[in-house]
Amino acid sequence: MNPYWLEDDAVPRAAPRHEGRVDVAIVGAGVTGCSAALRLADGGLRVRVYDGRAVAEGASGRNGGFALRGGASRYDVARETYGPEQARGMWVWTERALDRMEELGGDALRRPGSFRLAADAEEREQIRGEYEALHEDGLEGEWLDDLPGVLAGRFEGGILHAGDGSLQPARFVRRLAAHAADAGAEFREHELVDDVEALDADHVIVATDGYGHGLVPELADAIWPTRGQVIVSEPIDRVLYDRPHYARQGFDYWQQLPDGRVLLGGFRDVSILDELTDVEETTPAIQASLERFLGELIGETPRISHRWAGIFGLTQDMLPLVGRVPGRDGLWVAGGYSGHGNVLGFACGELVADAILGETGPQLELFDPARFS
């Protein structure tokens, strides 16, 4: 298990320390926790972040590196489920978050756009519906019947989402942590929290997404730990997939990295119930499916340099939970991105921080954890 992203160079970080009680303690130093820490420290609060591992060593350093706008559902489905105003508002809100990520992340984020592809005629109809809904609501998205390069003939059309990005997620989150530390946030790595009530803080944010299941019993049925698996090839000498690509409702996702390697994740549906777990290990069945598909994508037997598993938090309605944990004084949550947390995690970290700082907004209503109680 060697997540490619975590091999990146360390990012130097200041090490401020607070004496005694803080305003806010955050459990989890992934994208959510670091984003919240930066916002709160910028807002003048004393912040302490705990993680049982090091910064970005959870899903934030183990994902596919897709930085997509929107939520985990297709836009047309989101519009139907959450209502047109809420869905459109959420999409625009994440587009703005991507812009801020670009400002903060430097070369950790490129924005070549992404391809959502139709693997068959049924999926073509579905994503055509998504394209039309985006278009009706004035959101960007280009429909492609004629797909470029190696995609032609293999997929039945697709949508180019122009503003989407490819993230080096560990580099991005480590930089976010460095910004937060510069603003005064204290980081306590390799400190596992087993009781949120014991933390010496006025507010506590649980930012553990798919990890830390059971830490807050009230959330145990709302955010289900779910495993994702990834492989990365040795560099290949031609550029085949120069942006994030995904198909089969996002079950399969792949992109070529700047050094020529191809990263592929997915095939969770090969054994979907087994993947409802927080055991962070790869399995032969899914690894074999990934290798087979990677061979088809690159036209040769792939030489694999990296393989790993990570855990994300899935929710029933595919929307995150952000806000106060019902019935618990001073306890907040931001998590449950349903496999779509690079941009949402960043945005929801800011959102929960803003809520603590006294701001409200439509996203807080939509993501209210009380909907599951």
Ligand X SMILES: Cc1cc2nc3c(=O)[nH]c(=O)nc-3n(C[C@H](O)[C@H](O)[C@H](O)COP(=O)(O)OP(=O)(O)OC[C@H]3O[C@@H](n4cnc5c(N)ncnc54)[C@H](O)[C@@H]3O)c2cc1C
Which residues of the shown chain bind ligand X in the complex (CB under 6 A)? 27-33, 50-53, 57-60, 62-66, 192-193, 207-212, 215, 228, 230, 265, 310-312, 335, 337, 339-343, 345
* Nearest distance from C-beta of residue 209 to ligand X, angstroms: 3
318: which 2 tokens? Answer: 């595919």
Taking the C-alpha atoms of residue 334 and residue 123, their distance in angstroms, rounded to an integer, is 31
Nearer to ligand X, 152 or 174 (CB): 174
Nearer to ligand X, 135 or 258 (CB): 258
CB contact at 8 A, 46 and 191: no
Contacts of 40 (CB under 8 A, 6+ apart): 23, 24, 47, 185, 353, 356, 357
* Nearest distance from C-beta of residue 116 to ligand X, angstroms: 13
For 113, list phi and psi in degrees, rounded to 5. 85, 170
Taking the C-alpha atoms of residue 149 and residue 166, their distance in angstroms, rounded to an integer, is 19
Rounded to 5°, angle at Cα 30 from 10 and 327: 155
Nearer to ligand X, 125 or 255 (CB): 255
Which single residue is written with the structure tokens 């004084």? 329
* Nearest distance from C-beta of residue 65 to ligand X, angstroms: 6
- Residue nearest ligand X, Cβ-based: 341
CB contact at 8 A, 27 and 208: yes
CB contact at 8 A, 57 and 51: yes
Contacts of 288 (CB under 8 A, 6+ apart): none
Nearer to ligand X, 60 or 315 (CB): 60
Least Cα distance to 71 among 87, 54, 52 occurs for 87
Nearer to ligand X, 212 or 323 (CB): 212
* Nearest distance from C-beta of residue 191 to ligand X, angstroms: 7
* Nearest distance from C-beta of residue 308 to ligand X, angstroms: 8
346: which 2 tokens? Answer: 């960043």
* Nearest distance from C-beta of residue 89 to ligand X, angstroms: 19
Nearer to ligand X, 60 or 363 (CB): 60
* Nearest distance from C-beta of residue 28 to ligand X, angstroms: 3
Nearer to ligand X, 50 or 155 (CB): 50
